[in-house]
Chains A and B, each alone.
Chain A
Amino acid sequence: MRSRLISIVLLVFLALSLIAGISLIFRAQEEEISWRPAVIAREGIGVVRIHGPIFIDASEGMFKTVRGAGYYVNRIGELLRDRRVKAIVIRVDSPGGSIGAVQELYAAILEAREKKPIIISMGDIATSGGLYISAAACYIMANPGTITGSIGVAVGNINFHRLMQEHGIGMEVIKSGEHKDILSAWREMSEEERELLQALVDELHLQFVNAVAAGRDIDIDRVKEIADGRIFTGTEAMRLGFVDRLGGFNEAIDVAMEKAGLKGEPVIIEKERPFWERMFPGASGGGGVSRLLRQIEDSHLPVKFIYHFPLGI
């Protein structure tokens, strides 16, 4: 009788262990967090690295992972949900990107900073869209020689009109409206179209200026003064109020620790890179300017707008 009772207790204990184990495994996976008490006990700083041009979609092949705004937005969300993460450092090393992608990332960072301190650490370059997303953070750090700025919008296209005329080649286009083939490579741009595009560029530029002014809490006229596309160094950016402090990634971690109220050796919480990325270090990050432009080409838009420096189109 006693042995039977012990057996039942043992079996119940085992069943509970199995249920607890399986629920921990799948819950941890859903929330992208570690459930281990020893790991949970270690609070730290979440790190997201934004490298290369920023565009909307991410793709993951067998040997190459290309990360888009969606990936970064999700990663920031995961770090916000992770109970261990007390502050987030976003390492920005980007020349900018497509407008939609940059604005999505800006919105995500702006929302995130209401929940946890977000610190930007600018690397070599954080121009145009790179500066746009940085402006959403609580605190921005840059190296003295970081290239930043380039507040502006660019649109352009190659035009073969004269070349075609010289060779007697023409392009017949049937269109539903006058401006349907705006920025066509095969004909000259009309004055009306130029005005239309300029108005569009001005509107997007104003959105950029407003975003930087709102994110940095700077007077909009002050931003407009230098929002002519010029680039500047980290030191100059600090003087202009776009950067809070000069320093590298480690200093940014220290600031994050301070803002999070953490002491001691910093614990970095960063998503482990996939196996293939570790095997082939070049097989990750942004897709490069060519990919960005290809994606914009593939978007079937007749007009190509980017927050990107250098222009490259």
Chain B
Amino acid sequence: MSGIDIIYGLFANPAAVIGKVSLDRRFNLAFFVVIISVISSSIGWLLIFPWNITPSLFIVILIFRAAFPLLLLFVICGILSIVANFYGGIGKGSFLYAIGCFSLIPYWLMTPVALLLSYLEPGIASSFFFLARLFFFLWAVGLFTIGIRETYVFSQRKAIATLLTPAVVCVFLIVVFVLLISIVALS
């Protein structure tokens, strides 16, 4: 599959394309998707919330903003890979990492959306911009869930469980930690 076919497929027929991508990591294209997502997201943000910024500072911010999701995805995919294997999935974390990068493709639309929103009053535009961000986030999570399912070859239910388990464990650990702190403080 060519790069253009993958990009089109991620928008038009994500399940089929992610299934194919899960067999071939295509890291170059995956990193390209992340970089364009970060650029589009940053430009969209600056269009809605104007901020005095020099071109050089903008580039520095782009580098950091690109590095952040790449590193975060690296950690998340490592954890999710362990959880997926625990649920009986067969697949590698590196493949999931590539899928994770591809799943950021909805953020490509941030700049066009921000340009359209600029026709509204600033206050309304910023409200709709947050809604759009939420929508793109949920879309990206949806793509990632499909990616987990295809990479580890198991059911959608297990894919969702894989995604939620670390979050549930984190919340549980925080609650336990707070309870322990409270007990120590009261005793």
Contacts and interface: CB of A to CB of B under 8 A. Distances in A.
Contacts of B71: none
A302 interface: no
Interface string B7-49: 1110110000000000000000000000010011001101100
Interface string A4-36: 101110110110011011101110110000111
A21 B5 contact: no
A3 B8 contact: yes
A239 B2 CA distance: 82
A279 interface: no
A217 B50 CA distance: 43
A11 to B, nearest CB: 7
Contact of A38 (B36, B46, B120): B120
Nearest to A21: B43
Given A4-B4, A21-B47, A25-B43, A14 B119 contact: no
B53 interface: yes
B53 A29 contact: yes
Contacts of A34: 50
B85 interface: no
A168 interface: no
A37 interface: yes
Given A13-B112, A29-B52, A39-B122, A18 B12 contact: no
Interface residues of A, number: 25
Contacts of B50: 25, 28-29, 34
Contacts of B127: none
A11 B4 contact: yes
Interface residues of B, number: 31
Nearest to A24: B47
A271 B61 CA distance: 25
Given A29-B52, A29-B53, A38-B118, A8 B4 contact: yes
Given A3-B8, A3-B12, A39-B122, A20 B115 contact: yes
Given A29-B52, A38-B122, A21 B11 contact: no
A302 to B, nearest CB: 41
Contacts of B11: 10
A25 B48 CA distance: 10
Chain B facing A: main interface SS: helix
A243 to B, nearest CB: 37
Contacts of A18: 39-40, 43, 111
A7 B5 contact: yes
A17 B111 contact: yes
Contacts of A17: 40, 111-112, 115
A37 B118 CA distance: 7
B114 interface: yes
Contacts of B36: 14
Contact of A14 (B4, B5, B112, B121): B112
A38 B119 contact: yes
Contacts of A22: 43
Contact of B7 (A7, A26, A29): A7
Nearest to B47: A21
A6 B10 CA distance: 13
Contacts of A26: 55
A11 B5 CA distance: 12
B8 A21 contact: no
A21 B115 contact: yes
A34 B122 CA distance: 11
Interface in A36-69: 36-39
B70 interface: no
A204 B52 CA distance: 41
15 contacts: A3-B5, A3-B12, A6-B8, A8-B4, A10-B11, A14-B109, A17-B40, A18-B40, A22-B43, A25-B50, A25-B53, A26-B55, A28-B50, A29-B50, A38-B125
8 closest A-B pairs by CB: A7-B8, A21-B43, A17-B112, A7-B4, A21-B111, A17-B111, A36-B118, A25-B46
Given A3-B8, A4-B5, A28-B50, 10 more contacts: A3-B12, A4-B4, A4-B8, A7-B7, A18-B43, A29-B50, A36-B119, A37-B118, A38-B120, A39-B122
Interface of A: 3-4, 6-8, 10-11, 13-14, 17-18, 20-22, 24-26, 28-29, 34-39
